[in-house]
């Protein structure tokens, strides 16, 4: 993909840059004064290279982000003030947060900006025109800037005013995070080192089915676990009792297994699972072979032999993509599977791409440093759609 990036921008000193970032960060519970703070500033840190690059060029920086799902209404708990405070402390520079998006006050503020100033607009999703990509509104928004820079890979799969629409009215460029995401994901999509092994876990198949299909014939191994693995096990005739599985997707899983056979991609199912009566922190567990499931047992994690087998396959690979925890890692008795996979990838010298919000949380909860992996994608849904081979609406206008 030939991207136009901010490195292609010339003579931008004093220019107004509309920068779309994904600062959709978790917030703390409100304190006694009703103040909330950013609970995890990873997403803000990830945009710092772009922000610092632009500030070094002495631009007027106008930052746009969404936070949560206010659904087109003003929701006080989702105002961007805590995010602006967090950015301010990371940059050690004032960040002026304004309570509006497009209004005379905003235009006046922008007019008064000096080169090097930073202004943050209010949560862009407070306006319903954002998600509708309303043309009139987008045009009005675009008049706040001379150039549109999109660094929000996490929302690149959405056709919204601030993720795609702005590019219709002012020149659009990719930020450095956007560029890095596209480069890393394109490499595994177009030219991966083989053997290529993909591990799919997590609760549901729906959002991942497209990626699984896209890699049939491209990947050497597809390892399935978690709820997805249970669905495939059900499709191959195992009765997993009350375990989470999508019974309406069993036929689809069978088709996928047949396609894998035809296109020489090995699909590997778990052969043992960690079972328990309920999913609690102090429940008793048993490591059970998939053949030995009886009654209403429930599987909540990948079994230890399967985790070891998965790890051996990871170590023998050149490239690994991992999306979705292989068990309910949020509960202590069921985190070993995901921990084994995470540590195995971290220790091996494969090229590794990690995607999915919960997968990233799992890695964090195991205290594995982020730099043990080649690339941790910041966009859950966006990275899945990218790996499906789709052209994302937020990326299209950034191409040369």
Q: Which long-range contacts (CB under 8 A, 24 or more apart) does 256-261 make?
A: 256/209, 256/212, 256/213, 256/216, 256/232, 257/232, 259/213, 259/216, 260/216, 260/222
User: What token pair was written down for 2?
Assistant: 């030939």
Determine whether 381 is an active site residue. Answer: yes
Nearer Cβ to ligand ADP, position 160 or 208? 208
Footprint on residues 356-375 left by Mg ion (CB under 5 A):
357-358
Classified as helix, coil or strand, 355 is strand
Q: Does 303 bind ligand ADP (CB under 6 A)?
A: no
Rounded Cα distance between 167 and 396, Å, is 10
> Which range of residues in 33-41, 182-190, 327-335, 366-374 is near ligand ADP by CB under 6 A?
327-335
Classified as helix, coil or strand, 291 is helix
Nearer Cβ to ligand ADP, position 175 or 325? 325
For residue 91, CA distances in Å to 39, 76, 85, 194 come to 17, 25, 10, 41
Determine whether 204 is an active site residue. Answer: yes
Q: Does 109 bind ligand ADP (CB under 6 A)?
A: no
Give least dist CB 293 to ligand ADP, A: 13
Catalytic residue among 85, 96, 159, 204: 204
Close Cβ partners of 11 (under 8 Å, ≥ 6 residues apart): none
> Which range of residues in 83-91, 173-181, 201-209, 303-311 is near ligand ADP by CB under 6 A?
201-209
Answer yes or no: are the C-beta atoms of 248 and 227 closer than 8 Å: no
Please identify which residue in 145, 154, 202, 394 interacts with ligand ADP, judged by CB under 6 A.
202
Residue whose beta carbon is closest to Mg ion = 358
Q: Does 323 bind ligand ADP (CB under 6 A)?
A: yes
Q: Does 356 bind ligand ADP (CB under 6 A)?
A: yes
Catalytic residue among 43, 127, 208, 298: 43
272-276 and 285-289 beta bridge pairing: antiparallel
User: What token pair was written down for 64?
Assistant: 């746009």
Q: Does 270 bind ligand ADP (CB under 6 A)?
A: no
> Which range of residues in 22-30, 80-88, 113-121, 325-333 is near ligand ADP by CB under 6 A?
325-333
Please identify which residue in 145, 227, 333, 393 interacts with ligand ADP, judged by CB under 6 A.
227
Vertex 359: Cα angle to 399 and 64 (nearest 5): 45
Catalytic residue among 309, 381, 389, 390: 381
Give least dist CB 222 to Mg ion, A: 19
Nearer Cβ to Mg ion, position 110 or 363? 363
Determine whether 357 is an active site residue. Answer: yes
Give least dist CB 202 to Mg ion, A: 6
State how far Cα 170 lies from the chain centre: 27
Classified as helix, coil or strand, 62 is strand
Rounded Cα distance between 62 and 84, Å, is 12
Nearer Cβ to ligand ADP, position 206 or 316? 206
Give least dist CB 174 to ligand ADP, A: 24
Q: Which of Mg ion, ligand ADP, none binds 50 (CB below 5-8 Å, type-dependent)? A: none
Q: Is the peptide bond before 100 cis (omega within 30 degrees of 0)?
A: no
Rounded Cα distance between 15 and 221, Å, is 49
Residue 198: closest CA among 324, 362, 112: 324
Q: Does 154 bind ligand ADP (CB under 6 A)?
A: no
> Which range of residues in 139-147, 175-183, 195-203, 257-265 is near ligand ADP by CB under 6 A?
195-203
Q: Does 217 bind Mg ion (CB under 5 A)?
A: no
Determine whether 85 is an active site residue. Answer: no
Give least dist CB 124 to ligand ADP, A: 23
Q: Does 162 bind ligand ADP (CB under 6 A)?
A: no
Rounded Cα distance between 313 and 43, Å, is 32
DSSP string, 132-196: HT-HHHHHHHHTT-SEEEE--GGGTTS--TTTTGGGGTS-EEE-HHHHHHHHHHHHHHHS--SSE
User: Which residues here bind ligand ADP, judged by CB under 6 A?
Assistant: 201-203, 226-227, 244, 299-300, 323-325, 327-328, 330, 356-359, 380
Q: Which positions touch Mg ion (CB under 5 A)? A: 357-358
Catalytic positions, please? 43, 204, 357, 381
């Amino acid at each position: 993909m030939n991207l136009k990036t901010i490195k292609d921008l010339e003579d931008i000193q004093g220019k107004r840059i509309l920068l779309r970032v994904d600062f959709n960060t978790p917030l703390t519970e409100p304190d006694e004064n009703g103040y909330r703070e950013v609970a995890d500033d990873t997403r803000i840190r990830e945009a710092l290279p772009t922000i610092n690059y632009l500030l070094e060029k002495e631009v007027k920086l106008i930052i746009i982000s969404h936070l949560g799902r206010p659904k087109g209404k003003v929701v006080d708990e989702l105002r961007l003030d805590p995010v602006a405070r967090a950015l301010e402390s990371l940059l050690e520079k004032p960040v002026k947060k304004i309570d509006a998006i497009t209004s005379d006050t905003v235009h006046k503020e922008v007019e008064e900006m000096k080169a090097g100033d930073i202004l943050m607009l209010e949560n862009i999703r407070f306006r319903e025109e954002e998600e509708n990509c309303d043309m009139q509104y987008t045009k009005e928004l675009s008049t706040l800037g001379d150039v549109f820079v999109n660094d929000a890979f996490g929302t690149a799969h959405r056709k919204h005013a601030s993720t795609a629409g702005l590019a219709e009215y002012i020149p659009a460029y990719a930020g450095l995070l956007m560029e890095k995401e596209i480069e890393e994901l394109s490499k595994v999509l177009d030219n991966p080192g083989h053997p290529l092994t993909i591990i799919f876990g997590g609760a549901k198949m729906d959002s991942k089915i497209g990626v699984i299909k896209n890699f049939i014939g491209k990947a050497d191994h597809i390892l399935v676990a978690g709820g997805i693995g249970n669905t495939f096990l059900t499709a191959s005739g195992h009765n997993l009792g009350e375990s989470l599985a999508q019974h309406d997707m069993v036929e689809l899983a069978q088709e996928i297994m047949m396609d894998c056979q035809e296109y020489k991609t090995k699909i590997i199912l778990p052969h043992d699972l960690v079972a328990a009566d309920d999913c609690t922190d102090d429940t008793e567990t048993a490591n059970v072979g998939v053949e030995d499931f009886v009654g209403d047992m429930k599987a909540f994690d990948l079994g230890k032999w399967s985790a070891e087998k998965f790890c051996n396959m990871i170590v023998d690979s050149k490239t690994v993509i991992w999306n979705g925890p292989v068990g309910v890692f949020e509960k202590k008795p069921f985190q070993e599977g995901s921990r084994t996979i995470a540590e195995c990838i971290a220790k091996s010298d494969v090229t590794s791409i990690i995607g999915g919000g919960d997968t990233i949380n799992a890695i964090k909860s195991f205290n594995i440093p982020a730099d043990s992996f080649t690339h941790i994608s910041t966009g859950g849904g966006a990275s899945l759609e990218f790996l499906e081979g789709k052209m994302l609406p937020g990326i299209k206008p950034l191409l040369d």
